[in-house]
Structure 1
Amino acid sequence: MTEDKQSAGPSASATEPLVPDVHKKIKAAFTAFDYESNNKVDVREIGTIIYSLGCFPTQADLHDIIAEVEEDHTGFIPVDKFLPVMTKVLLEHKFPPIPEDLLLQAFEVLDKENKGYLELEELTKYMTQEGELFTQEEKDEMLTALADHEKNLVYYKDLISQLTVDPDI
C-alpha cells in the first residue's frame, strides 16, 4: 500500500508541501498581533498582517476579506477563520506586491522636478487627497517610518526596498 500512495501522490501533492509552510507563516504573522494570546486579533490589525505576508489588496479587497473572516461583528478576527482565507490568498498569489521599478516610477511621477525626494507636506497631500486614500493611522505610520524628520523630506529612492517585498522570502 505504501507504494500505491507514493505513485498516486505526486500530482495531488504538488501544493500539499506548501500548505504547512504557508500555515506556519500566517500563524506567525497573526500571533505577532494577538496581544491577549487568545487566538484573536483586532480587526484593525488585519491589513497590517496581510501586508506583512507580502499581499497588497486594495481597501475594497481588504474590506471583503474582513467581512469574510470577522466573527459576529465583534471587532475581532479569530485565527481559525483567518487561516483558511489567507491560505487561499497566498497559494493563489492574489494581491502581489508592486515591483520595485513600478514603485520608483510612481514616485518619479510625483517628483515633478526630479529632486529624488518629496516634501512631507506634498506627500501628505497625495496620501490624503488623491487616489486610494490613506487613513490617518496609515499616513502617520508611513511618514514616521520613512521620513527624514530633520529635513521634512522623504528620499524615496532610498526607501524603495523597504516598501517592497522580496517574493522569494
Structure 2
Amino acid sequence: MADESKENADSLIADIHKRITEAFEIFDNENNKTVDVREVGTIIRSLGCCPTEAELTDMLVEIEEEDEAGYIRFEKFLGLMTKVLMERRYKPSPEDVLLKAFLVLDQDGKGYLTQDELAKYMTEDGEPFQQEELEEMLSAAVDPEKGTILYKEYVSRMAVEEV
C-alpha cells in the first residue's frame, strides 16, 4: 500500500509539473527558461489560482531574479507553484459566493448591473482594478445585445472547474 500511495503522489506531482511547465512555456518567448515578471500573474491565474495583487507581489519578491531584475526563472517558478498547487492556495471563489457578491451590488434586484455601476464598484472599492483589467472584465461580462452585465450568466462563465 505504501508503494501505491507514493506512486499516486509521484503521479500527482508529475501532473502538476506538466501543467506548470506548459503554462510557463507559453510566455517563454525566447525559450531560455525565463519569463517577464509582468506575465507571471497571467501564468498563475491560468493555473487556476486567484491571488490578490498583494499576494502576487509577495510571490514575485520570492522568485524574481536578483541579478536579472524583471525576469523569473523557470526553476524558481516551478518550485513555488508546485507548493502553491499542492497546498491548494489561492483557490477562486465558488459560484455561489460570486453570485452573492453580485446580488449585494444589485441593490434594486433588477438581475443585472450597468457598465457604469460595475466600473464604479471595481475601481472605487476594495482592491481597485486597473483600467486595462476593467476593460478586459467588461469585454467578457457585458451582454452585447443589452449592454448590461447579466451577472447570473457571467458568474457561471467565471466559475473555475476544479482541476
Cα offsets for 1:123-161 (capped at 9, x unmatched): 111111101111222212211222235543111111112
In structure 2, the partner of 1:113 is 108
Matches within 5 A, 1:17-166: 17-72=11-66, 74-149=69-144, 151-166=146-161
Distance 1:122 1:8 in 2: 56
Per the TM alignment, residue 10 of structure 1 is displaced from its structure 2 partner at its CA by: 4.1
User: What amino acid maps onto 2:28 in structure 1?
Assistant: D
Distance 2:103 2:34 in 1: 40
In structure 2, the partner of 1:4 is none
TM-score, normalisation: structure 1: 0.87
* SS of equivalent residue, structure 1 residue 127: helix
TM-score, normalisation: structure 2: 0.90
Unpaired segments ≥5 residues, structure 1? 1-6
* SS of equivalent residue, structure 2 residue 140: helix
Distance 1:13 1:38 in 2: 31
Q: CA RMSD in A?
A: 1.8
Per the TM alignment, residue 42 of structure 1 is displaced from its structure 2 partner at its CA by: 1.6
Distance 1:38 1:142 in 2: 32
Given the superposition, is the C-alpha separation of residues 34 and 112 from structure 1 closer, same or farther in structure 2, using an over 3 Å criterion?
same
Per the TM alignment, residue 40 of structure 1 is displaced from its structure 2 partner at its CA by: 1.7
User: When the two structures are aligned, how many residues end up with a matched partner?
Assistant: 162
**Structure with larger Rg:** 1
Distance 1:22 1:41 in 2: 19
Given the superposition, is the C-alpha separation of residues 161 and 94 from structure 1 closer, same or farther in structure 2, using an over 3 Å criterion?
same
